[in-house]
Amino acid sequence: MRRALALAEAAAVAGEVPVGAVVVRDGEVIGEGGNAPRRLNDPTAHAEMLAIRAAAERIGGDRLQDCELWVTLEPCAMCAGAIALARISRLYYAAPDPKGGGVEHGARVFAQPTCHHRPEVYAGMGEADAAALLRSFFSAKR
């Protein structure tokens, strides 16, 4: 989660909402990303999506079995859907997102009968740091 938090900090410096994510397999980071929709002109370029795409490219397949995703904020519906499609085994996220989350809020993607793979989900590790980053980013914007 430390690496994900560092990626979130880097996103903030680049003017993007500070969220960072890494994909880990056997203790090794095989994909990472910081939130970058503006910089990349890509509305899908959330941290989780970039980390998943990088990891899948690295392993040369479209399934990330036996991989963990660590992310600083509760994934939105898009990212939760991608996590299920990628067959991520375990999801760790730091801060919950009542306004935009899709795991324990809103679409609750993994709880739907249309979801064909459910990762184990662990929330809260690093929550204080991740939430502080987001608060500081949005208060500076105001």
Within 10 angstroms of residue 52's Cβ, the number of other Cβ atoms is 25
What is the torsion angle, in degrees rounded to the nearest 10, for the CA atoms of residue 3, residue 46, residue 90 and residue 103? 130
Residue 38 is a binding residue for its own copies (CB under 8 A): yes
Window 89-128: residues binding its own copies (CB under 8 A): 98-102, 105-109, 112-116
Q: Would the annotation count 79 as a binding residue?
A: yes
Beta carbon of residue 40, minimum distance to its own copies (angstroms, whole number): 8
Beta carbon of residue 58, minimum distance to its own copies (angstroms, whole number): 9
Residue 31 is a binding residue for its own copies (CB under 8 A): no
Whether 48 is a known active-site residue: answer yes
Q: Which is nearer to its own copies, 35 or 129 (CB)?
A: 35
Distances (CA, A) of 109 to 85, 102, 104, 113: 11, 6, 9, 9
Residue 86 is a binding residue for its own copies (CB under 8 A): yes
| Residue 95: DSSP 8-state | E
Rounded to 5°, the CA angle 133-51-79 comes to 75
Q: Would the annotation count 76 as a binding residue?
A: yes
Applying CB under 8 A, the span of 7-15, 18-26, 60-68, 126-134 interacting with its own copies comes to 60-68
Cα separation, 73 vs 47, in Å, equals: 10
Rounded to 5°, the CA angle 12-59-102 comes to 45
Cα separation, 101 vs 118, in Å, equals: 16
The one catalytic residue in 16, 32, 48, 68 is 48
Residues that bind its own copies (CB under 8 A): 37-38, 40-45, 49, 52-53, 56-57, 59-64, 76-82, 84-87, 98-102, 105-109, 112-116
- List the binding residues for Zn(2+): 46, 76, 79
